[in-house]
A and B are shown apart, each in its own frame.
Chain A
């Protein structure tokens, strides 16, 4: 880990310490009982955390399951065991052995064993199984998973890979019960939400609320402190803000973050909350469908890449809270990110935009002399509709006349997953791990989990794989710099990074021991959270 990364994490940890009042928490005796109320930004519809990528799916099920590993609820930058008590790595870094906790029970009373771990990871690693988060991260690295005995599991890697442990600890790589997978075939139904986590899945009322209740047999004695967690499904900024202002929710640490104006409004309405600004390890992407006209044409993709004014979008849509243009955010991955002053000179990012707009216009005119009409899709979540309008306005300057089509959240995911779109004006993609490889395996390589545009460039795949396999830190950094330079210079990718998203969040001052994760949605098991009187 680089010095700058250490410094970034230390600074973030210090900030979070102030926000969450850890020193005060440590002096107080945790109080048991109470229900934590917060919200999902949309209705997840499907609940299979292995198979889905919407953040609401992860949020809906986070406290129900355990992972082999987890990010420490007390110190979110640190990886600790969860179902694994301890683990060892072979000297060549290609074999990891996990020793599991004994006497762990599933919520239905069945005993947990290594067979469950194998079944879960075999499932996400199956080439036929679409696993856009856990699977997309692990498939390039993991060769096989074996249950050595009922309490030991061995992972064989294809090569020594730095992102392996962070990926296994990701909240998307939860362990599901083998007998439940056999019974239901997937994890979509509420009845299939049988985990080993601190909370049991209690209720899912479509479009209304998701509830968990305390697991009295949780394998860590004394936890959780809360009696339960309620997640209201609140769609749209005004509804979410109204609930926050009316003290109906105690926490806003999920996507979408509040914008500055919303945070100011909340600060005027409530004095019993701590409001803080933070990066959320999420990229705001514009996607082009590389399999359909007109964006199957590299010139047209290049035109859009040149025309999108990232700075304007970050300034207006994110109210300035974000890092425009960057493929990797230095605040999150330190010097693995290409220096921002170099990024700012890249085609499409450089300001003023006049030369890029003129070039983009020529490219469009070359193929569509009278301009072209396209449908611009967005999901009706967060402020995507506003972002979409800005993108449409920018594209109009180069002769691409967009008409907006809005989708309900789950319906949008379904359409985008099938390639049923021309342009997606806004889709935030959260990283699974706070590691440079994350973003490339989310959106840039051919098999990446959120490569909605179905873009494929063998050179990108080869460069990403080479960087992933590199064990020497400096060489790895150089490999990622080369990859970023290549993507910025070529400028015809179907996943266009507008910027890294930051925003404002809050937590009720009565909430104790809540530490926001370094990636959105890690640490939302609430296993150690409690509510003061």
Chain B
């Protein structure tokens, strides 16, 4: 195990750095109740207190400890990112794999639906969905799931089309395997590499979309410790309390940077062309 880690660090130093950031992010999210000195919604302090020993990241406009909110924000960001990507990419991947194998009218029809969804600018689509669904963290996840499904469906379909034309699928058909068995036993497992890459690269995307929605007031409710929401509040007092923008901005940047490095690294490892130095 330690050898494998060492090999990974040597082969993918940037990926390893990304993995370290992601591990820290996960640890902070999981240990938020222990790490945060105060509740994320506790308003018992003076507003706009500059960073100090008592409040290392200062306080916000209603007197909440910024450090506690940034720590709890990691949990919210990770929850939104992981949940939306797992649901969205999984559903999209299944959709892509199944329709690629079934083909015909079902495939053409479903791809036109994907076209329609992809034709809409993602943030506009997300905004419309949030306006229709109402503000809550779970609705942000639902909006993100709807955003992610077409991307995953289109990507996995293209992979699945290639796999469906391979001899082992023909062999399975000749052996009398049912369509469901072929899809779930043979096709889907062979799309797993693409699936993993989609998951890792889209968590950061989901975190950025959540932060963007919250920044414009259409994401998580304002009292939830969302990094985007914190940025939006900070903009109101940019000159008076720049720390309100700096720390959540830094948290978003670090999280996205780490996830992107890790995602790129996993893509490199799973892509035979890149792995073989052909890319």
Contact of A403 among B42, B62, B136, B217 (CB under 8 A): B136
Contact of B222 among A238, A268, A389, A394 (CB under 8 A): A389
A261→B62 contact, CB < 8 A: no
A236 contacts which chain B residues (CB < 8 A)? 236
Contact of A265 among B48, B61, B136, B240 (CB under 8 A): B240
Does B26 count as interface, using CB distance less than 8 angstroms?
A: no
Q: A238-B236, A380-B217, A404-B135 are in contact. Are A390 and B62 (CB under 8 A)?
A: yes
A403 contacts which chain B residues (CB < 8 A)? 136, 221
Q: Quick one: closest B residue to A388, CB to CB? A: B222
Does A151 count as interface, using CB distance less than 8 angstroms?
A: no
A238→B41 contact, CB < 8 A: no
A386 contacts which chain B residues (CB < 8 A)? 61-62, 222, 233
Interface residues of B in 213-242 (CB under 8 A from A): 217, 221-223, 233, 235-241
A497 to chain B minimum Cβ distance, whole angstroms, is 20
Contact of A316 among B43, B233, B235 (CB under 8 A): B43
Does B47 count as interface, using CB distance less than 8 angstroms?
A: yes
Does B249 count as interface, using CB distance less than 8 angstroms?
A: no
A143 contacts which chain B residues (CB < 8 A)? none
Interface centre among B236, B237, B240 (most CB of A within 10 A): B236
Q: A261-B240, A389-B62 are in contact. Are A406 and B222 (CB under 8 A)?
A: yes
B 8-36 to A, binary, CB cutoff 8 A, 1 in contact else 0: 00000000000000000000000000000
B135 contacts which chain A residues (CB < 8 A)? 404-406
B236 contacts which chain A residues (CB < 8 A)? 236-238, 383
Measured between alpha carbons, how far is A392 from B40 in the docked complex, in Å?
13
Q: Quick one: closest A residue to B224, CB to CB? A: A404
Q: Quick one: closest B residue to A396, CB to CB? A: B41
Does B51 count as interface, using CB distance less than 8 angstroms?
A: no
Interface residues of B in 54-102 (CB under 8 A from A): 61-63
Measured between alpha carbons, how far is A386 from B222 in the docked complex, in Å?
8
Q: A392-B223, A393-B41, A393-B42 are in contact. Are A406 and B217 (CB under 8 A)?
A: yes
B39 to chain A minimum Cβ distance, whole angstroms, is 9
Q: Quick one: closest B residue to A309, CB to CB? A: B43
Does B134 count as interface, using CB distance less than 8 angstroms?
A: yes
A424 to chain B minimum Cβ distance, whole angstroms, is 15
B48 contacts which chain A residues (CB < 8 A)? 261
B222 contacts which chain A residues (CB < 8 A)? 385-386, 388-389, 404, 406
A313 to chain B minimum Cβ distance, whole angstroms, is 10
A389→B217 contact, CB < 8 A: no
B132 to chain A minimum Cβ distance, whole angstroms, is 14
A404→B240 contact, CB < 8 A: no
Interface centre among B47, B48, B222, B238 (most CB of A within 10 A): B222
Q: A316-B43, A393-B41, A405-B134 are in contact. Are A261 and B223 (CB under 8 A)?
A: no
B 234-262 to A, binary, CB cutoff 8 A, 1 in contact else 0: 01111111000000000000000000000
Contact of A404 among B47, B61, B223 (CB under 8 A): B223
Measured between alpha carbons, how far is A20 from B241 in the docked complex, in Å?
31
B61 contacts which chain A residues (CB < 8 A)? 316, 383, 386
Q: Quick one: closest B residue to A268, CB to CB? A: B239
B 147-191 to A, binary, CB cutoff 8 A, 1 in contact else 0: 000000000000000000000000000000000000000000000
Other A-B pairs beyond A264-B240, A316-B61, 6, CB < 8 Å:
A268-B239, A316-B47, A383-B61, A385-B222, A405-B134, A406-B222
Could you tell me which A residues sit within 8 Å of B by CB distance?
236-238, 261, 264-265, 268, 312, 316-317, 319, 380, 383, 385-386, 388-390, 392-394, 396, 403-406
Could you tell me which B residues sit within 8 Å of A by CB distance?
41-43, 47-48, 61-63, 134-136, 217, 221-223, 233, 235-241
20 chain-A/chain-B pairs, Cβ below 8 angstroms: A236-B236, A238-B235, A238-B236, A238-B238, A265-B239, A265-B240, A316-B62, A380-B217, A383-B236, A386-B61, A386-B222, A386-B233, A389-B41, A389-B62, A390-B43, A392-B41, A393-B41, A404-B135, A405-B135, A406-B135
